Chain A
Amino acid sequence: MNQFVDTDIAIIGAGIAGTSIARELSKYDLSVIVIERKNGIGLEGTATNHHLVCQGGDSLTFRPGTLHAELNIKSIPLWPKLAEDLNFKFRRIGGLWLIRDNVDFNKFQKMYSRAFKSSLDPKSPYLIPEGSFIPLKFIDRKELKDLEPEISDEFIGALYDPNLATVDPPEVAKAYAENAKANGVNFLFNTEIKKINKVLDKFELISDKISIRSKVVINAAGIEADKIAELVKARDFSYVPFKGTIVELDDELGEKIKHEVLVLPRGSSHMQVIAPTVDNKLLAGIHLEMSYRSNREVKDYAVKHAINVSKKFFPKIQFEKHITRSFTGFMAMTNPDTGWHDFVIGMPDLVPYWINIVLGPAGVSASPYLGKKVVELLHKFGINLVEKKNFSNVRKEVES
């Protein structure tokens, strides 16, 4: 016989989405349980990505009007304080978007100007508070060389975004989780939800050993969010899994390359980027393809892409000798045919009190504001949230 537990809110998935939402909800008088099939925090999509926190230029180019843009921009001012409160590493690396010719220059100018109109304009709903954002600027070849001495002569300059940052996403997810736990959220590990029933006004989430009855369910199952939603006919969205392959390079190179370096791809849909991590390694890639989610194998051609990109930026460096590992990760891409991706944060009309979360690209970056958006949604649907008096916003100790 299965053991039963009751809760106000159940969150499926302990990735960056589930943990950041749990932490936000732990500010309120509610019982919250996070259910994770693996034996730890952030072991899926949150562990297999490029670690970038779009602190400026990137988020300002996201399609205005989307949740993707809104959450990322609204998260910009929250990151530094969050890193301090939750005691995780937050490193500002800055981004160099390389310019080969006028085509790049004109494109960046266009992206840049739109970005400003949609964010720094006082009438914009996504105003970035003063002090949290340093304006981007164009730099010439000499300035570029000052910042990245070994960069190829092919590039005549760059658009420089001093804001861009990096974190270790699983560490951030752990920080969210530990703070949530300290404020009363329960975590169930090694618990895979396989079936869901609707019993009176509650959802019954069923795993092999335990059943959780909850009034509200937040589906934060990452790349599996579609299948989880289908269990209660709550999939009112679609996405295609994009498989990304990233190559990790050792800290010897991390001493040499200090910024994110990126170039706009031409005639290809694969990203061309290399960026340092908080522990001074480098991540290069990203070969991207639509794929079955089970197809996790690292392909030679995808590794080659990362190496070729790195060499294009820094022709004198022997990248092959510095590879520490290669890995693949999956992100959910909505509107994959148009590239007009957006997050899903919503309650299906037919399934009240069920909230679907689908992040996809830049989901880690958007996480500080994600929980607040969910709280907005809960309020909108008449769920009364009362703030706790004794919420503690700082992480006390780091679990081993």
Chain B
Amino acid sequence: MSISNGLNLALARKVIKAMIRFSIDNEMLPGSYAVTDSGGHVVAMERRPIALPATVDLAIDKAWTASVMKISAKVLDQVITKGQYGRLNVKYHGRMTLIYGAVPLIINGEVVGGIGHSGESIDGDEKIAQAGLAGVYREDELDAKVEEGLEIARNIAENVISYVNSNKFKPVAITINDRDGWPILIYRMDNTPFGFVEISRSRAWTASAFKMDSHDAIKYVGSINECPNGEESNERFNTTQGGIFIDHNILSSIGIAGNTPEIDYKIAVNSIKSI
């Protein structure tokens, strides 16, 4: 892998692994680890299954902030807003996250994305995000033993990627949720339009929430208007095909998006054949 390929899923995963390794080696609190592209859209996110559910969107929003402000939250706070970030924070429905642990991903002197961590103290979050940036510039891949749920989620995602590639389907976004309906993993394959990230998340959420494939939910719920839909609180209803329920002790759903719903469904079903 070379840095000159720019930000892609492989690099984002490498950054996340570097963060997890740092946090485990230093016995830090488990959290969520996110990498976003230059527009703030998720390229990859992983959450350690023992980490707080709410860290998912905090990590993503930190990465988003570093991406779209092209600067770290630490500098925004200390140099630019000088502690007065409340005014900035009301914009974008509070998504602007000036909490440490939001670091720009820099390649060839250019900010090509953002790195976010949530789950530790602000100083811990900052150190872990910095470890992610350092990971970009390591030619070796740092790794660490992670909890079973995350390891299985990674395997499923790898199954998806190789199935999509070998069948020449369009690249997809993948979301894998735990039993509470919170993401353990979100990956966006290279060249997947970013809009599919949220679709994969909502398909997965629907499958988790109703313990059935996303397209079956409408039969039981009746009307789409009945359903919760508040992305801010991770409630996202989507009854198109592509979200499947899995009966597993840690994980509960997979959401795939990027092709027609029928193909996305097929990809999702195939991905769990081996687990």
Binding site for B on A (CB under 8 A): 226, 230, 233, 235-236, 238-241, 269, 289-294, 334-338, 348, 350
How far apart are A352's CB and chain B's nearest CB, in angstroms?
Answer: 14
On chain B, the residues within 8 Å of A338 by CB distance are 72, 74-75
Q: Please, which residues of chain A bring their CB within 8 A of the CB of B133?
A: 238, 240, 336-337
Q: Which of B22-30, B162-170, B243-251 is the contact stretch?
A: B22-30
Q: Which of B202-256 contact A (CB under 8 A)?
A: none
**Docked-complex contact B25 and A290, CB < 8 angstroms:** no
The smallest C-beta distance from A262 to any residue of chain B, in angstroms, reads: 20
In Å, the complex CA distance between A290 and B139 comes to 13
Chain B residues contacting A240 (CB-CB under 8 Å) are 133-134, 136-137
B149 beta carbon closer than 8 Å to chain A: no
Q: Which residue of A lies closest to B107 (CB)?
A: A290
> In the bound complex, what is the Cα–Cα distance between A335 and B78 (angstroms)?
14
Q: Which residues of B contact A (CB under 8 A)?
A: 3, 22, 25-27, 71-72, 74-75, 103-104, 106-109, 127, 130-131, 133-134, 136-139, 142
Q: Is the CB of B27 within 8 A of A350?
A: yes
Contact across chains for B106 and A290 when beta carbons are under 8 A apart:
yes
Is B137 touching A289 in the complex (CB atoms < 8 A)? Answer: no
A-B contacts, 21 of them at CB < 8 A, read A235-B22, A235-B25, A235-B26, A236-B26, A238-B134, A240-B137, A269-B109, A289-B108, A290-B107, A290-B108, A290-B137, A291-B137, A292-B3, A294-B139, A335-B130, A337-B72, A337-B103, A337-B130, A338-B72, A348-B26, A350-B27
Q: Which residues in B have their C-beta under 8 angstroms from that of A235?
A: 22, 25-26
Asked whether B26 lies within 8 Å of A337 as measured between CB atoms, the reply is no
Q: Are A292 and B137 in contact (CB under 8 A)?
A: yes
Cα distance A350–B3 in the bound complex, in angstroms? 32
Closest CB-CB distance, A294 to chain B, in whole Å? 6
Complex Cα distance A230/B133, Å?
17
Q: Is the CB of B106 within 8 A of A337?
A: yes
- B27: chain A residues at CB < 8 Å are 350
Task: Determine the main DSSP class of B at the interface with A.
Answer: mixed
User: Complex Cα distance A166/B72, Å?
Assistant: 35
Nearest CB on A from B51, distance (A) = 20
Q: Tell me, in angstroms, the Cα distance from A291 to B131 when the chains sit together.
A: 15
A235 to B134 Cα, complex, angstroms: 12
CA distance A239 to B135 in the complex (A): 9
> Which residue of A has the minimal Cβ distance to B24?
A233
List residues of chain A with CB within 8 A of the CB of B109: 269, 289-290
Chain A residues with Cβ below 8 Å from B108 are 289-290
A241–B137 CA distance with the chains assembled, in angstroms: 7
19 new A-B contacts at CB < 8 Å, known A238-B22, A337-B104: A233-B25, A235-B25, A238-B127, A238-B130, A239-B134, A240-B134, A240-B137, A269-B109, A289-B108, A290-B109, A291-B137, A292-B137, A335-B130, A336-B133, A337-B75, A337-B103, A337-B106, A338-B75, A350-B27
CB-CB nearest in chain A for B3: A292
A292 to B1, CA, bound (A): 11
Residue among B25, B72, B131 with the highest chain A CB neighbour number at 10 A: B25
Query: For the complex, what is the distance from the CA of A3 to the CA of B138, rounded to whole Å?
Result: 33
User: Which of chain B's residues have a CB closer than 8 A to the CB of A337?
Assistant: 71-72, 75, 103-104, 106, 130, 133
- How many Å lie between the Cα of A290 and that of B3 in the bound state? 10
In the assembled complex, the Cα of A165 lies from the Cα of B142 at a distance in Å of: 40
